[in-house]
């Protein structure tokens, strides 16, 4: 009764998407959350193109779409809001994921709708239950949970445990996993307001490089707007929660009568990454595994990437009986990627400081400028479950395969990611032949073979680019490319490598 394939501790954004994804694979999941209600105030405000595509996998993209606004761009400015360097213009762009690069959403709306979807799902949910203890060393896979309503202690056993219990994760502590501090630890005050009048503040994120006070303006989903202001070490942070102080900080943009403050909070923006994301059959995802300052708006996205990367692998070991070594590729792939997000989020903060303290912005060292602007482009995956164990440019392995999209007159009519299925897929423009043995192997994996119709390719510049060469792509369930055929590697060789890698070989 008290045994589950997967127990998830913490139903924030990361735990919620992990639960929905695992449920979609038919896995028996228990989710434990100490709070009764969702957190009612916004923290994350931006969702990336990949975030939207990952939401499609969990069937929650419509929730974000209904509650979001496309972001127009971003720029660094001086204290008088004059642009420094190049503004980043995102207007009209659609990425290979089939979505605009960045959109702004109102988290209380989306979290509530996601919670309702979870409650209707087959996931067993225990709200007002607090995870208390796990003894991973005794190999009994038991956790202790306290029912906060009657103070009764309950034991559960699991095959896999996912700790998505946020920055101060008890799961991480119980697993004795240390964190690496990447040393950006500053206090900022974050203020969300509701506009009373029509918006006059534009649709771009503004990084204000003012030596007196660094600030970020975020044009959140209407009618909301966000400001973040740095608090200097010698200042008393409590004074920054004073309404008059906040009004003074916002006065560059709006008069007090033009908005209503809906939330004010002082945060210490951290830069930390856990040394390991896995210990035996326990995993960390989301803020439990990494925390980045929010300059890039990628913290929650990183948590989504963790959940998507891990969910299909766990499902494949349970449903397809694949070797558990497959799970080792989770931290191998996710640690370097999330480290990039953490380091480069801090890079934006460092560039802001450099612009603020240098008289002529042209004097700011190029490596800081590149780090700041480069942060907006995320890397591919480098090592892990790919042909040969590592990404390869010729094969495009480690890159994300473009989403098939139906266009009409250059406008998106329908996103078609579902045609790739929820397991591996083999995608080409032409029919392909594989050995009988490999056919059976692909069937066992639930792999979908797909001849992409020209209607998907012609108007989609991303797919056109990927499909130019006469390649067959082997695409993973999380849409990363495992490998593709080249003049040196046939389709059967590609599949043979996958076969060895997910069944037997230690993934290096």
Ligand X SMILES: Cc1cc2nc3c(=O)[nH]c(=O)nc-3n(C[C@H](O)[C@H](O)[C@H](O)COP(=O)(O)OP(=O)(O)OC[C@H]3O[C@@H](n4cnc5c(N)ncnc54)[C@H](O)[C@@H]3O)c2cc1C
Residue located via tokens 């996998």: 57
The span of 75-83, 299-307, 322-330, 372-380 binding ligand X (CB under 6 A) equals 299-307
Interatomic CA distance for residues 94 and 361, integer angstroms: 31
Contact 94, 100 (CB under 8 A): yes
Alpha helices in 446-489 (DSSP H): 454-457, 461-467
Exactly one of 7, 34, 123, 253 binds ligand X (CB under 6 A); which one? 34
State yes or no: residue 177 binds ligand X (CB under 6 A): no
Residue 82 CB, shortest distance to ligand X, in Å, is: 25
If the CB atoms of residues 303 and 372 are measured against ligand X, the closer one turns out to be 303
State yes or no: residue 128 binds ligand X (CB under 6 A): no
Q: Is 482 helix (H, G, I), strand (E, B) or coil?
A: strand
Residue 33 CB, shortest distance to ligand X, in Å, is: 5
Residue located via tokens 């998830």: 8
The span of 6-14, 61-69, 88-96, 481-489 binding ligand X (CB under 6 A) equals 6-14
Exactly one of 219, 286, 347, 483 binds ligand X (CB under 6 A); which one? 286
State yes or no: residue 432 binds ligand X (CB under 6 A): no
Q: What is the DSSP code (8-state) at residue 275? A: S
In the window 182-201, what residues touch ligand X (CB under 6 A)?
190
Interatomic CA distance for residues 390 and 163, integer angstroms: 27
State yes or no: residue 485 binds ligand X (CB under 6 A): no
407 by Cβ neighbours in 10 Å (0-12 / 13-18 / 19+) ranks as middle
Exactly one of 61, 298, 459, 478 binds ligand X (CB under 6 A); which one? 298
Interatomic CA distance for residues 316 and 489, integer angstroms: 26
If the CB atoms of residues 190 and 250 are measured against ligand X, the closer one turns out to be 190
If the CB atoms of residues 378 and 452 are measured against ligand X, the closer one turns out to be 378
In the window 301-360, what residues touch ligand X (CB under 6 A)?
301, 303
If you count DSSP H runs as helices and E runs as strands, how many of each does the chain have, helices first? 13, 27
Q: Please report the sign of the dihedral spanned by the C-alpha atoms of residue 498, residue 503, residue 504, residue 506.
A: positive
Contact 410, 495 (CB under 8 A): no
Residue 498 CB, shortest distance to ligand X, in Å, is: 30
- Pick the closest to residue 216 from 102, 363, 81 (CA basis): 81
In the window 250-269, what residues touch ligand X (CB under 6 A)?
267
Compute the C-alpha angle 352/354/359, nearest 5°. 115
Largest CA distance in the chain: 74
State yes or no: residue 101 binds ligand X (CB under 6 A): no
State yes or no: residue 131 binds ligand X (CB under 6 A): yes
- Peptide bond just before 223 cis, omega within 30 deg: yes
If the CB atoms of residues 161 and 326 are measured against ligand X, the closer one turns out to be 161
- Pick the closest to residue 236 from 189, 184, 293 (CA basis): 189
Beta bridge partners of 4: 158
If the CB atoms of residues 33 and 497 are measured against ligand X, the closer one turns out to be 33
Exactly one of 7, 8, 14, 134 binds ligand X (CB under 6 A); which one? 14
Exactly one of 72, 108, 299, 384 binds ligand X (CB under 6 A); which one? 299
- Pick the closest to residue 166 from 321, 43, 310 (CA basis): 43
Exactly one of 5, 7, 8, 13 binds ligand X (CB under 6 A); which one? 13
Exactly one of 24, 28, 35, 374 binds ligand X (CB under 6 A); which one? 35
Exactly one of 4, 5, 8, 10 binds ligand X (CB under 6 A); which one? 10
Q: Please report the sign of the dihedral spanned by the C-alpha atoms of residue 333, residue 339, residue 341, residue 344.
A: negative
Exactly one of 7, 32, 58, 134 binds ligand X (CB under 6 A); which one? 32
If the CB atoms of residues 14 and 460 are measured against ligand X, the closer one turns out to be 14
Interacting residue ranges for ligand X, rule: CB under 6 A = 9-15, 32-35, 43-46, 130-131, 164-166, 170, 190, 267, 286-287, 294, 297-301, 303
């Amino acid at each position: 009764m008290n045994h589950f394939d997967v127990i998830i501790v913490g139903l924030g954004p990361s735990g919620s998407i992990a639960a929905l994804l695992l449920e979609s694979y038919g896995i028996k999941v228990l989710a434990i959350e100490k709070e009764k209600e969702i957190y009612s105030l916004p923290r994350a405000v931006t969702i990336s193109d990949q975030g939207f595509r990952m939401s499609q996998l969990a069937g929650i993209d419509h929730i974000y779409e209904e509650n979001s606004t496309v972001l127009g761009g971003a720029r660094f400015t001086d204290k008088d809001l004059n642009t420094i360097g190049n503004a980043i213009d995102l207007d009209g762009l659609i990425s290979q994921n089939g979505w605009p690069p960045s959109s702004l959403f109102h988290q209380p709306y989306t979290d509530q709708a996601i919670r309702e979807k979870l409650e209707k799902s087959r996931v067993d949910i225990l709200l007002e239950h607090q995870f208390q203890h796990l003894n991973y060393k005794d190999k009994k896979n038991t956790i202790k949970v306290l029912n906060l309503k009657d103070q009764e202690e309950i034991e559960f056993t699991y095959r896999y445990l996912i700790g998505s219990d946020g920055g101060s994760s008890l799961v991480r502590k119980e697993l004795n996993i240390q964190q690496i501090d990447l040393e950006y630890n500053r206090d900022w005050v974050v203020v969300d307001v509701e506009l009373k009048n029509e918006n006059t503040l534009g649709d771009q994120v503004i990084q204000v490089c003012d030596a007196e006070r660094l600030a970020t303006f975020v044009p959140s989903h209407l009618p909301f707007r966000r400001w973040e202001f740095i608090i200097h070490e010698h200042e008393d942070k409590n004074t920054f929660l004073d309404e008059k102080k906040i009004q003074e900080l916002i006065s560059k943009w709006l008069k007090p009568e033009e908005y209503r403050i809906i939330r004010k909070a002082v945060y210490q923006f951290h830069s930390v990454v856990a040394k390991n994301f896995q210990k035996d059959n326990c995993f960390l995802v989301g803020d439990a595994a990494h925390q980045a300052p929010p300059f890039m708006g990628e913290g929650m996205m990183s948590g989504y990437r963790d959940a998507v990367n891990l969910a299909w692998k766990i499902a494949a070991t349970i449903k397809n009986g694949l070797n558990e070594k497959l799970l080792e590729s989770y931290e191998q792939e996710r640690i370097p990627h999330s480290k990039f997000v953490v380091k480069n989020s801090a890079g934006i903060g460092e560039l802001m400081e450099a612009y603020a303290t240098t008289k002529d912005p042209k004097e700011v060292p190029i490596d800081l400028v590149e780090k700041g602007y480069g942060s907006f482009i995320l890397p591919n995956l480098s090592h892990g479950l790919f042909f040969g164990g590592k990404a390869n440019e010729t094969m495009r392995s480690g890159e994300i395969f473009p989403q098939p999209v139906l266009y009409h007159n250059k406008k998106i009519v329908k996103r078609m990611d579902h045609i790739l299925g929820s397991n591996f897929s083999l995608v080409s423009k032409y029919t392909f032949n594989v050995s009988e043995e490999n056919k059976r192997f692909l069937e066992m994996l639930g792999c979908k073979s797909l001849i992409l119709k020209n209607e998907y390719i012609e108007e989609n510049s991303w797919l056109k680019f990927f499909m130019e060469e006469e390649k067959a792509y082997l695409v993973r369930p999380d849409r990363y490319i495992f490998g593709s055929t080249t003049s040196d590697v046939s389709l059967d060789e590609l599949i043979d490598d996958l076969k060895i890698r997910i069944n037997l070989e230690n993934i290096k």
